[in-house]
Structure 1
Amino acid sequence: MKKKMFLLSLCASCVLAANINFKEAAQDIKRADPSTQAGVVLSYHDAIKDVKKSVVNISTSKTVTRNMAGFDDFFNDPYFKQFFGFDFPQQQRGGSKKEVISSLGSGVIISSDGYIITNNHVIADVDSISVSLPDDDTEYKAKLVGADEKTDLAVIKIEAKNLSAVSFADSDKLMEGDMVFALGNPFGVGSSVTSGIVSALNKNNIGLNQYENFIQTDASINPGNSGGALVDSRGALVGINSAILSRSGGNNGIGFAIPSNMAKDIAKRLVEKGKIERGFLGVTITNLEGETKKAYSNQSGALITSVEKGSSAESAGLKRGDLVLKANEKNITSASDLKNYIGTLEPNQKITIIYERDGVSKSVSFVLKADTQSISSQGLIDGLELKNLDTNARAKIPANINGVLVTGVKEGSKADNAGFEVGDIIIGVEQDEIKSLEQLSSVLKNNQAKSFTKIWVYRNGVAQLLVLR
């Protein structure tokens, strides 16, 4: 049967700002001991039959260019010929080959009119996104609504109506030992359900995302499950499947899901604005541990170790050594608590911080400034991911070096061809010194009419000139 194709642009700018109303699960949770059901077959079929309709398969494709230089020398090596006994076709020296790479993932329908949440890594840097619904052979071409790399979440949209939207549970009410089910498209085999329990909560410092508050589960999460649903025994969404810890690539019983409350917040902001804007506190923080606890009346919180100049924290009078105990109504028991909570706030939003200094609890209220480090670098220089220098980056370079840090270089892009490398610091464009993303954007606009642009980078202790064409 021939599939109908609905062609839509992948361009995020084509999606207008919108509102979204989430379907909420009942929040009055009752737990039951299954051992009281003696003599009956325990089954969760009725609990998951509806949510299965909300989990979709996502396939993506992108074209990459592979450099074939040097392969002919390898194939024609006399020792290679001796073992294989025949000649290989000659590759043009210094040539390249274009190749289309496809990958699979999962997504969860969050509104009846076609909004779908998935992982950012499922749809990042692809040329096309296709969506297949359960029990439907129609293939929908999706458009990107918005993505947030820092939480590894993204929202896409297909043109369809009357879809089965998932019901959101309050992930803050999850408990270790709760039964959960992972739904998705593992290994491309189609819709699949695995079961397990919540193994741990509030897992952070895993090194996957900047903002981490993972649900850990032993329900099997395999390649292709990314972006799928983690649901409780009622079939309500508690998390978005994201990653596994594995040396082999298969499931070893440690999987991670992004809590539904975080997913709902990010999805709402992406649908409404197409991007995530975060307030910026401007502090470096750590946990209160070991001997350091003896110096404080409170035994948990987020310990401020440095305050950036010109930041919201400096303006509010916060100092190194202050122990943050509460942010608005959120109790802060760790550095991760504070980082994740600040990540939910937008610029110009008011915040009240309660903290301990010299054994005394104090309170300060102020307005968060914009996170200049989260300003989009997309489109500034083709193929580059950029961010402003933060405290950690500045610790590795001389104090007199200012600029913008290169955090990613896309293969085959103009930036790649010009010789940019991850870790470069853009310190100048033509005769202008660069100190921030905002300034880089302004200077590049002034030079966009030129056939090439001279860009100075700081690399391995010296300044180097790159020419961008």
Structure 2
Amino acid sequence: MKRIFGIIGVAFLGGATALGGYKLFVEQPQVVIEKSVEPQLQTVKASYTPAVLNTSSVPTDFTDAAEKTVNTVVHVKNTAVKEVYNPFEEFFGRGNGRSKREQVGTGSGVIISSDGYIVTNNHVIDGATDIEITLNNRKKLKANLIGADPKNDIALLKIETDMELPFITFGNSDNAKIGEWVLAVGNPYNLNSTVTAGIVSAKGRDLEGNTNIESFIQTDAAVNPGNSGGALVNTRGELIGINTAITSRTGSFIGYSFAVPSNITKKIVDDLLEYGNVQEAIIGINIDASYNQIEGVKIGNIDEGSEALKAGLREGDVITKVNNVKIAKFSDLKGQLTAKRPGELVNLTVDRNGTELTKTVKLSKRDSFISESFGIELKDLTEEEKEKRDISYGVKILRTSHPAFKQFKVGKGYVITKINNKEIHSASEAKNILDTYSPRTRKRFILEMISPTGQVERYGF
């Protein structure tokens, strides 16, 4: 019996030794976490006293501005019939390969009067054969194009309706301040009446490579495709800009959007209603582009007989203000002039060799325009010139550089009277039409002209 217990004891001792060795040398330790406790943050005192904000002056509720705006912003649908060339159809004998196809584009617009005038971007309705407006209450109406300014990308539409329409009030875009809250209202991706908020990021912004608009309001309010032509409003619900462009590699909003200032928009609308085209105001000076000081625009030279010369401006003067509005760069000056009409008086503050002077200048009308795409400079005819040629419309050619004009010996002294049978009444109108027929568009048009000898001549391009 003792022998049996001895064997069992030895076996037990051997098993215990083996198990202990396994635990010690073979088995890896297992860690089980039953509860995780977050460490408490350490409080550190610093020699900093935070400022107490007056929250009553900080706008945190945009509902009033949004309510005033959403019903004044409309959806704009444009339908354009464009000619499309398919070389395969021509190759396989299916006609000449050209066919007409309908293209539809969308954007936004802003009602600016109770009787149905609407502002939008020119690029929203450019080339449209049919324009349809959808109000915020889903009612659809046809719109007519009253006029457009491609240079500043603004167009004026009109809808006819028996009811009084809600409309927006123009604000003074010169008074908009960097850091001020703004709302962008439009129809991105066909989403009706979308409101986004941001701040004014910059003013007088000129986009690199953009030769048309040179005085944007920059904001970080989200703007996407379909917002073009929509409203940029302040916290009082006043229109301070027309949303126009975004900077993006993807085509969608990435943080920067741009609007045509309301002062420029209102001036263009007034001109289109009163004159049928935009009256561009100039000082009568050329700018010294080499000037690279921190602020101001330096006068390079002054036109002979100009109002600027009569007012006492001199070559080398640095313009620092227009009517007490600070001028830091050329786009600031451009924006101020674009918002004004010929004949207006402006006070120019200039720095002349360290001395600040103020000169009152009467703005002149720009009467010569250059179509870069066709290398032609045009100028309005005087009433005496019209009477001499016995015509009531037309613009004269100052110079040409296009090979076709040189081939036909068309140049200074010729008068363009019609483009594609449309009577031409101003140099700016002719320039804008010619630019739509730039060589890259491959559109054909016919110029009707009167030669210096009084002969009517027609040329196809």
Q: TM-score range by the shorter chain?
A: 0.5 to 0.7
Partner of 1:146: helix, strand, or coil?
A: strand
In structure 2, do the counterparts of structure 1 residues 259 and 453 end up closer, same or farther at CA, with 3 Å as the change threshold? closer
Q: Which whole-Å CA distance do the structure 2 matches of 1:270 and 1:374 have between them?
A: 18
- Report the CA distance between 1:250 and its aligned residue: 0.7
**Cα pair 1:286 1:334 within 8 Å, conserved:** no
Q: Which whole-Å CA distance do the structure 2 matches of 1:282 and 1:312 have between them?
A: 7
Tell me the residue number matched to 1:403: 399
**Cα pair 1:68 1:91 within 8 Å, conserved:** no
**Cα pair 2:288 2:299 within 8 Å, conserved:** yes
Tell me the residue number matched to 1:56: 74
- Report the CA distance between 1:140 and its aligned residue: 1.3
In structure 2, do the counterparts of structure 1 residues 280 and 385 end up closer, same or farther at CA, with 3 Å as the change threshold? farther
Match of 1:341 among 333, 336, 346: 336
**Cα pair 2:244 2:259 within 8 Å, conserved:** yes
Tell me the residue number matched to 1:274: 276
Matched, 1:332 2:327: yes
Pick the structure with greater CA Rg: 2
* Matching residue's letter, 2:144: K
**Cα pair 1:404 1:437 within 8 Å, conserved:** no
- Report the CA distance between 1:175 and its aligned residue: 2.7
* Matching residue's letter, 2:337: I
Q: Which whole-Å CA distance do the structure 2 matches of 1:368 and 1:272 have between them?
A: 18
Q: Deviations over 1:178-218 (max 9, x none)?
A: 33221111112322222222222332244446343222222
- Report the CA distance between 1:322 and its aligned residue: 2.6
Percent identity over paired residues:
34
**Cα pair 2:283 2:361 within 8 Å, conserved:** no
Partner of 2:71: helix, strand, or coil?
A: helix
**Cα pair 1:129 1:142 within 8 Å, conserved:** yes
Match of 1:323 among 310, 318, 322: 318
Matched, 1:388 2:366: no
- Report the CA distance between 1:451 and its aligned residue: 10
- Report the CA distance between 1:326 and its aligned residue: 3.8
- Report the CA distance between 1:361 and its aligned residue: 4.8
Matched, 1:446 2:450: yes
Structure 1 residues 163-174: aligned runs within 5 Å: 163-174=165-176
- Report the CA distance between 1:444 and its aligned residue: 3.5
Tell me the residue number matched to 1:410: none
- Report the CA distance between 1:435 and its aligned residue: 6.3
Q: Which whole-Å CA distance do the structure 2 matches of 1:425 and 1:366 have between them?
A: 40
Taking structure 1 as the reference length, what is the TM-score of the superposition? Answer: 0.66
Where structure 1 has 5 or more consecutive residues not aligned to the other structure, the ranges are: 1-30, 74-89, 294-298, 378-383, 391-400, 406-423, 455-466
**Cα pair 2:78 2:130 within 8 Å, conserved:** yes
Q: Which has the higher contact order (CA 8 A, sep 6+)?
A: 1
Structure 1 residues 8-407: aligned runs within 5 Å: 33=55, 44-70=62-88, 90=92, 92=94, 94-137=96-139, 139-160=140-161, 161-208=163-210, 210-285=212-287, 293=293, 300-307=295-302, 312-313=307-308, 318-361=313-356, 365-374=360-369, 388=377, 403-404=399-400
- Report the CA distance between 1:303 and its aligned residue: 0.8
Taking structure 2 as the reference length, what is the TM-score of the superposition? Answer: 0.67
* Matching residue's letter, 2:258: F
Partner of 1:142: helix, strand, or coil?
A: strand
Q: Deviations over 1:320-354 (max 9, x none)?
A: 43322344554433222222222233334445544
Where structure 2 has 5 or more consecutive residues not aligned to the other structure, the ranges are: 1-52, 380-396, 419-423, 426-446
- Report the CA distance between 1:166 and its aligned residue: 1.1
Match of 1:434 among 385, 392, 412: 412
- Report the CA distance between 1:152 and its aligned residue: 1.2
**Cα pair 1:238 1:260 within 8 Å, conserved:** yes
Q: Which whole-Å CA distance do the structure 2 matches of 1:131 and 1:333 have between them?
A: 40
- Report the CA distance between 1:241 and its aligned residue: 0.8
Q: Deviations over 1:338-390 (max 9, x none)?
A: 22222233334445544344445556555443212359x8xxxxxx8886289
Q: Which whole-Å CA distance do the structure 2 matches of 1:109 and 1:182 have between them?
A: 15
- Report the CA distance between 1:51 and its aligned residue: 1.5
